[in-house]
């Protein structure tokens, strides 16, 4: 797809940015995330001062404020960081992998699979508790991606023919089928619809206990795999033939990439519901800052995606104070204006 021409054009400007400037920017991004984390601990329907937050973390005395920080805000913030990183990095991976700016981590069927499993659980198996959603959603996500890969490989006559375009189309088609069945099941029964409209909004608050423990391992594993892929993805950006000539094992790289995306997006979706905008958009914004080198894109995304998610979550607590908006509803409102400013400033070349 000629989409690849675009990041390439930007390189001419941004490769002149010395690595030292990028390191400075990376530190700025880390600082932003740190500020967001602290704000996320302090701000809420009950504002808690910064010294009290510190006390709660270092020397808890069992007071109400300390309990709020330790029992509610810390898990919420940790989940926000994990889910944000997972959505962002999986988005960066899938866009580099498919070389398509419209690709989001859900394109391999993860979101549709997770949603389908939860709908089936609610509509047909009588599942009503949120702690039951997590294993269902994660299993659904993994199965859907495995199915997408199997179908793509079958039609292509083996793993060698599983091109990104093929995976994209199979992913879109399978997502559509699962989504169609989900929506039919949802719309036929008011009670199912009622459960699903809340799951579909995406939230990191009021998660059942143990949520973080059950997804953290998968997300960390996914992040490690993503970093391993970075160098090979750079070579793949030059075209498959060139990558092979440079010694990249194309099939192994693709499988690693798919496994990483599935672990990251699947675990995050299972824990927080489908939060759409982060994975699609943060990598775009980051690419305009860094150029097409995945070894820079991935760390920047790793820091900025959780920042966007946490800032959105904080805004969600403030706009309808003392009530709250689900973070999935707010992310687009924080991220989209920034994105539009950036794209209007960028000299984007034709697609």
Partner 1 sequence: MTTPTTLVLRAGPFSGRIPRRVLVVNGALLGVLLAATAAALMLGSYTIPLDELVAVFGGQGADQATTVVFQWRAPRAVAAAVFGAALALSGAIFQSLTRNPLGSPDIVGFSVGSFTGVLVVIMAGGVGFHATATGALAGGLATAAIIYLVAFRHGMQGFRLIIVGIAISSMLTSVNTWITVKAELGIALRAAVWGAGTLNGLRWSHAVPGIVAVAILTLLLVFAAPAMRQLELGDETAAMQGVRTEPTKLALIVVGVGLTAAVTAVAGPISFVALAAPQLARRLTRTGTITLSTAALVGASLLTLSDLIAQHAFSGLTVPVGAVTVCIGGLYLLWLLTRRR
Enter the tokens of residue 101: 């700016």
Residue 175 in the binding site for partner 1 (CB under 8 A): yes
- Cα–Cα dist 167/176, whole Å: 14
CB of 176 to partner 1, least distance (A): 4
133 Cβ neighbours under 8 A, 6+ residues apart: 118, 121, 127, 199, 270
Q: Is 322 in the site for partner 1 (CB under 8 A)?
A: no
Q: Which of 143, 276, 315, 318 binds partner 1 (CB under 8 A)?
A: 276
Which of these segments, 20-28, 136-144, 175-183, 231-239, binds partner 1 (CB under 8 A)? 175-183
Asked if residue 315 binds partner 1 (CB under 8 A), the reply is no
Q: Smallest Cα–Cα separation from 88: which of 321, 261, 225, 330? A: 261
> Which helix (H) or strand (E) is 342 found in, with range?
helix 327-345
Counting contacts by CB under 8 A, is residue 152 touching partner 1? yes
Binding window for partner 1 (CB under 8 A); candidates: 57-65, 126-134, 188-196, 261-269: 188-196
Phi and psi, residue 29, nearest 5°? -60, -40
Judged by CB under 8 A, the chain residues 99 through 118 that form the site for partner 1 are: 100-103
The dihedral built from the CA positions of residue 184, 187, 189 and 191, taken in this order, carries a sign that is positive
- Give the binding range for partner 1 (CB under 8 A) out of 21-29, 89-97, 161-169, 208-216: 161-169
* Cβ neighbours of residue 182 closer than 8 Å, sequence gap 6 or more: 112, 115, 116, 119, 196
Q: Is 93 in the site for partner 1 (CB under 8 A)?
A: no
Residue 194 found at the interface with partner 1 (CB under 8 A): yes
**Cα gap 157→265, rounded to integer Å:** 28
Residues that bind partner 1 (CB under 8 A): 1-3, 6, 100-103, 151-152, 154-155, 157, 165-166, 168-170, 172-177, 179-181, 183-184, 186-188, 190, 193-194, 197-198, 200-201, 276-277, 280-281, 284, 325-326, 328-333, 335-337, 339-340, 343-344, 348-351
């Amino acid at each position: 797809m000629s989409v690849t021409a675009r990041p390439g054009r930007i390189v001419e400007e941004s490769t002149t940015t010395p690595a030292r400037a990028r390191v400075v920017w990376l530190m700025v991004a880390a600082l932003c995330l740190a500020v967001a984390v602290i704000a996320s601990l302090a701000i809420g329907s009950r504002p808690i001062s910064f010294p009290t937050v510190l006390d709660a973390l270092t020397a808890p005395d069992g007071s109400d404020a300390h309990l709020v920080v330790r029992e509610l805000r810390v898990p919420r913030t940790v989940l926000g960081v994990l889910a944000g990183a997972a959505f962002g990095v999986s988005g960066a991976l899938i866009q580099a992998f498919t070389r398509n700016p419209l690709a989001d981590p859900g394109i391999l069927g993860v979101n549709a699979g997770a949603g389908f499993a939860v709908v089936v659980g609610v509509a047909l198996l009588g599942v009503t508790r949120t702690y039951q959603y997590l294993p269902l959603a994660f299993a659904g996500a993994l199965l859907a991606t495995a199915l997408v890969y199997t179908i793509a490989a079958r039609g292509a006559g083996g793993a060698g023919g599983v091109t990104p375009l093929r995976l994209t189309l199979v992913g879109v088609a399978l997502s559509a089928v699962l989504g169609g069945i989900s929506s039919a099941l949802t719309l036929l029964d008011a009670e199912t619809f009622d459960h699903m409209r809340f799951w579909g909004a995406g939230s990191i608050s009021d998660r059942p206990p143990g949520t973080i423990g059950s997804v953290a391992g998968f997300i960390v594993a996914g992040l490690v795999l993503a970093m391993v892929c970075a160098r090979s993805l750079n070579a793949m950006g030059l075209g498959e033939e060139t990558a092979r000539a440079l010694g990249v094992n194309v099939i192994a790289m693709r499988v690693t990439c798919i496994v990483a995306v599935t672990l990251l997006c699947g675990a995050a979706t299972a824990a927080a519901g489908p939060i759409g905008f982060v994975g699609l958009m943060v990598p775009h914004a980051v690419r305009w800052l860094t150029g097409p080198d995945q070894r820079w894109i991935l760390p920047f995304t790793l820091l900025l995606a959780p920042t966007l998610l946490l800032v959105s979550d904080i805004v969600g607590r403030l706009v309808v104070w003392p009530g709250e908006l689900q973070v999935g509803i707010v992310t687009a409102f924080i991220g989209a204006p920034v994105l539009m400013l950036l794209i209007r400033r960028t000299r984007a070349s034709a697609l």
